Structure 1
Amino acid sequence: MSTLFAFLHHVCAFTLVSAVAIEFALIRGELTLSSARRLQVTDMVLGIAAGALLVIGLLRVFFFEKGADYYWHSHAFITKFSIFIVIGLLSIIPTVEFLSWRKAIGEGQVPAISAKKLHLVTAVIHGELLSIVFILLFAAIMARGGWV
């Protein structure tokens, strides 16, 4: 069972990384009706992957791996988990923006986004990408039993 949950954890993580990369590519280009729709769908996939990753990860912590005591006493795990939570909360910013486009997209119009809002959404997506690098670093440290 532990192997299955490890596999599911990795599938969700790779899906999340792929979705962030797609958002990164789409937000850098000209906003069109097609790219706006793709951003909405990609953001939904990202949210589902993040939610599943969190649930599966916590199931692994409490039921399938070394035990909660091990993880909650690991500075590397706490740092990794904290980064995941903080960036997850920040990712609400692009999600709210993309959801606000529903009416315009439904009417076949390109959504309007101010330069300031676009900059903020882009900065959050860049932060998501950067946070992935740090999460991977702390996961490697944790897996090797370091920084306890």
Structure 2
Amino acid sequence: MAILHHFAAFTLVAALAVEVALFKPPLSPVQARRLLRTDFIFGAAATVVLVVGMLRVAFFEKGREYYWHDLYFLIKFGAFIAAALISIYPTLTFLSWSRGLKAGVAPGVPEARTRRVRLCLMLELTAIVVILACAALMARGFGYSAPGRAP
């Protein structure tokens, strides 16, 4: 389970990096299609990370009692959920191009929308940095507070 979780997480990071690199309006139809495909990969990888991660918490590793009492796990989980919610705006933006792309029309992206999508992508990257820092702290045993004990 751990290898699948890590593979999906690295795929997620790679897809996000590709989105950041590709999202440079004005976009050609080819670039826009690549962004749509990359965003699909990003979403699929995020889904696998979440499902496998929750399976690991519930049924494998140290068990849910351990993880739900680990401050850095809770921060990591919160950062993941925040990134997932933030990613909705870029995804909806990319999906809005579908009809035009089928007709071979390049998407026109207004400057204000470009700034908002770019901000969302940067916030997602920031969340990944938080997730990685928390994962490293968790691996060293920091953040755990046994039930019934003050932190």
Q: Counterparts of 1:96-115 in structure 2 under 5 Å?
A: 96-115=92-111
- Once residues 34 and 129 of structure 1 are traced to their aligned partners in structure 2, the CA distance between those partners, rounded to angstroms, is 24
How much does 1:82 deviate? 0.2
Stretches of structure 1 that go unaligned for 5 or more consecutive residues are: none
Bigger proportion of residues as helix: 1
TM-score by length of 2: 0.93
Tell me which structure has the larger Cα radius of gyration. Answer: 2
Which residue identity is paired with 1:69?
E
1:4-47 residue CA offsets vs partner (Å, 9 max, x unmatched): x0000011001000000000000136411111000000000000
How much is the aligned-residue C-alpha RMSD, in angstroms? Answer: 0.9
How much does 1:127 deviate? 1.0
Which residue identity is paired with 2:73?
F
- Once residues 99 and 130 of structure 2 are traced to their aligned partners in structure 1, the CA distance between those partners, rounded to angstroms, is 37
Count of equivalent residues: 144
Stretches of structure 2 that go unaligned for 5 or more consecutive residues are: 145-151
Q: Does 1:12 align with 2:8?
A: yes
Structure 1: which 4+ aligned runs deviate by more than 6 Å? none
1:45-104 residue CA offsets vs partner (Å, 9 max, x unmatched): 000000010000000001111000000000000000000001101100000000000011
- Once residues 63 and 77 of structure 1 are traced to their aligned partners in structure 2, the CA distance between those partners, rounded to angstroms, is 16
Q: Counterparts of 1:41-120 in structure 2 under 5 Å?
A: 41-120=37-116
TM-score by length of 1: 0.95
